[in-house]
Structure 1
Amino acid sequence: MAVPAEGLPARVRIHEVGARDGLQNEKTVVPTEVKAEFVHRLAGAGLRTIEATSFVHPKWVPQLADAEQLFPLVQDLADTVALPVLVPNERGLDRALALGARRIAVFGSATETFASRNLNRTVDESLAMFEPVVAKARTDRIHVRGYLSMCFGDPWEGPVPIRQVVGVAKRLMDLGCDELSLGDTIGVATPGHVRALLAALGEAGVPASAIGVHFHDTYGQALANTYAALQHGVTTVDASAGGLGGCPYAKSATGNLATEDLVWMLDGLGIETGVDLGRLTATSAWMAERLGRPSPSRTVRALSHKES
């Protein structure tokens, strides 16, 4: 039963990351045809933003080395579904544009250590690398998302000062990104910290309307943090079907917020998402079978057990 709460948005756009952020952390490579069917099933469940793949060099993320083969297999969805792809540099952008991509994302870090480990660059050097990527994308009228990781804590540097995060976030947005995704890469955020960061970003000129939140559930705080973000006016939430994912460069980063758990909460609050929870749960159960293990999503487990 839906019981609305005051001060929350009427609708939330779910930015589904399971096919990219979820599968990139798998120990084994998922066949291209399975990935394509996964994206189609997610679209069939009502998701309208599905991050399809990454055009990072195969050496760094071998699980997504088939980007050129996969993207044409999901392009039939492009009229109704946004299919953003991650690009690390100009070469990645060129590869994506050659296949007709219309939405891209760049992936930065709020901390120096993670920037070095993930991009082999300093924060300044990574922003310099993104500058021509964003400029070219804007010239071609391509939508650009800026991911910012380690916004709350870093496994090497510890808690990340809000001022530091705001500084890098503002620089990333000043490059020309259309939206900013705040990543709690190792899942250490708590609701008060979320509210404080969003307030500081607003004071710096980055409004909630331009922000998405990307929480990991390491300490079971992802839904609480999402609720805090919704109260602050955020209407874009990243989530991964079945709770797939982590980060190959930060071993303490466990799974993303499960899309099913998010939809269960939003449905209960009467917030529209356009997602059919039953079809989404069936999709994640299907993918879990392909991966050879049960889904970590509590909602998937609960609903699957109920049906059996």
Structure 2
Amino acid sequence: MGFFNKIAQGLKKTREKFFGNIKTIFSGRSLDDEVLEELEEIMILSDVGVDATKDILEKLKERYKKDKAEDPLILLRDIMVEHLDNEPIDFNPTKVPYVILVVGVNGTGKTTTIAKLGKLYKDKGKSVVFAAGDTFRAAAIEQLKEWGHRLNINVIAHSHGSDAAAVAYDALNHAVSKNKDIVIIDTAGRLHTKSNLMEELKKIKRVIQKVIPDAPHETLLVLDGTTGQNGIVQAKVFKEAIDLSGIVITKLDGTAKGGIAFAINQELGIPIKLIGVGEKEDDLQIFDPKTYCDALLGIEKN
């Protein structure tokens, strides 16, 4: 299955329930106030957010006014693409070991995302190390070990309840001594003890920098796409505590409404780098705004 088809298939439920209606609205109608109202309702119900929806529709109205010959669906797609920052993840870093810190609330698919990201790097010929830094949950350590075994990737782990920063420290020293390319560090996600968690993340960062001063090179926040606007709240909490370089949206193949990508960009200004569109090892996809918007709106690849 090709890249576009995989994304389109992954977003099938979202498209059919929400964004797919946009194509129908445009069918044989001009872009009048009634159409704009219907569009606004769909977009807000799809988690695009009030501010992003208003901005997108104002631009649509303005551009359509200038060129009524333009297909409004393609015009809308182009404006939606402009609203999505595109800053790809670095799969050929010059700095090694390249350190990726992964944060997020429990239940977002964080540990699975780490495994899939490790596979993406491995498929590109990179040697990878996992650090089982979610020491708060014994299950998370075992889960990462199982993924490591399956993917033939080294996992540095301590016992349940141990110091997460010490795990990260050992993983980096291992990577340096063994000339590994990539280190991906898992972290705890117990947001109900917010202050403890944020202090732990800051400590991990300080300890990492004792080994590699400019690390982490990438700090990714994993968000569950089905949580909608609640995901924005989570992102703001993490953003206050630690510099985020990118977002990974997971579970977009399920009941996610898809519009959350636009709300994230509008409200946080953090680029989306990867999306999860399924449970399989290769279902973590590099985020491409045009492919994403085409898949949401049901526009065939051109």
TM-score bracket relative to the smaller structure: 0.3 to 0.5
Q: Rg bigger for which structure? A: 2
Q: TM-score, normalised by structure 2?
A: 0.43
Higher relative contact order (CA 8 A, sep 6+): 2
TM-score using structure 1 length: 0.42
Normalized per residue, the structure richer in helix is 2
